[in-house]
Structure 1
Amino acid sequence: MFSHVMVGTNDIERSKRFYDAVLAVLGAGEPVHNRNATGQNRLFYRHDGMSFCISEPINGERACGANGGTIGFKCSSPEQVQKFHDVAVAHGGTSIEQPPGLREGNLGPLYLAYVRDPDGNKLCALHRPASSRR
């Protein structure tokens, strides 16, 4: 359904350090650097046919996290969820909501961890056990 997700940053180098570490947990390599026609720096991380991008805001305003927005990253195991969380926190992210772990709900069991990146964007690491996929 999605071709890419892009979030804004106020410090492209700080965000690169954060996302290099966090997205490496999921298997993403070095990003492709791009400077658009109006001079904003952008980084494109590509993995499994998807792109996650960080960009200096094109409108010249400060970047801020979307209120109510969350970007979810699919993980292959509960251990990968925990590692995503721990690496994010070790690289300037903030753990939010409940501690990483199993959540039961009407969608079946999910292993979840929530963090905010250094610019305030809300990220979720999610693993859905095969027995609960619908």
Structure 2
Amino acid sequence: MIGYVTIGVSDMEKAKKFYTDLLGDMGAKLLLDMGRIAFIGESMKSPMLAVCTPFDGTPNHPGNGNMLALQPGSKEAVNTYYQKAIELGATCDGEPGQRIPDQFYGAYVKDLDGNKLAFFHFG
């Protein structure tokens, strides 16, 4: 259903490195680089993350209430990806932990441009 999600960035090279380094263990790689927009994912037939500089030429800014949620497969993996994001320069926006007892475990970071990411596991 979802083809790709786009995140506005200020520095394409830094954003491509951040997301390919962060998501590489999930099988993601740079699939297509068109200059102001680049697609990262497992394949062009799977959901992708696109990083781009805004089309209108104005500075990017993270949306209030917008968030990209990634499901790495386990609570341990949530912890691992949270820590990896922090090591790559992201800032904490909610340390890993159980949010809803026995239902939702999550961690939250903001990327290099302030875009909010969640790593989560149900169960």
Q: TM-score under structure 2 normalisation?
A: 0.90
Q: How does 1:95-110 map to 2 (within 5 A)?
A: 95-97=92-94, 99-104=95-100, 109-110=103-104
**Structure of larger gyration radius:** 1
Tell me how many residue pairs correspond in the alignment: 121
Aligned to 1:122: 116
Which ranges of structure 2 fall in alignment gaps of 5 or more residues?
none
- Select 2:72's aligned residue among 60, 70, 75: 75
Aligned to 2:39: 44
Aligned to 1:12: 12
Using the aligned pairs only, state the percent identity: 30
Deviation at residue 51 of structure 1 after TM alignment:
1.0
Counterpart of 2:37, as a letter, is R
The answer as to whether partners of 1:25 and 1:80 remain within 8 angstroms in 2 is no
Q: 2:69 is paired with a residue of what secondary structure?
A: strand
Residues 76-132 of structure 1 deviation map (CA, whole Å, 9 limit, x = unaligned):
1111111111111111100113x1022216xx5112010000001000011113xxx
Q: TM-score under structure 1 normalisation?
A: 0.83
- 1:12 and 1:54 map into 2 onto residues whose CA distance is 7
- 2:72 and 2:98 map into 1 onto residues whose CA distance is 13
CA distance 1:110–1:25, shift in 2 (3 Å): farther
- 2:90 and 2:25 map into 1 onto residues whose CA distance is 14
Coordinate RMSD, CA, aligned: 1.5
Counterpart of 1:122, as a letter, is K
Counterpart of 2:30, as a letter, is E
Structure 1 ranges of 4+ moved more than 6 A: none
Which ranges of structure 1 fall in alignment gaps of 5 or more residues?
36-40, 130-134
- 2:42 and 2:68 map into 1 onto residues whose CA distance is 15
Counterpart of 1:12, as a letter, is M
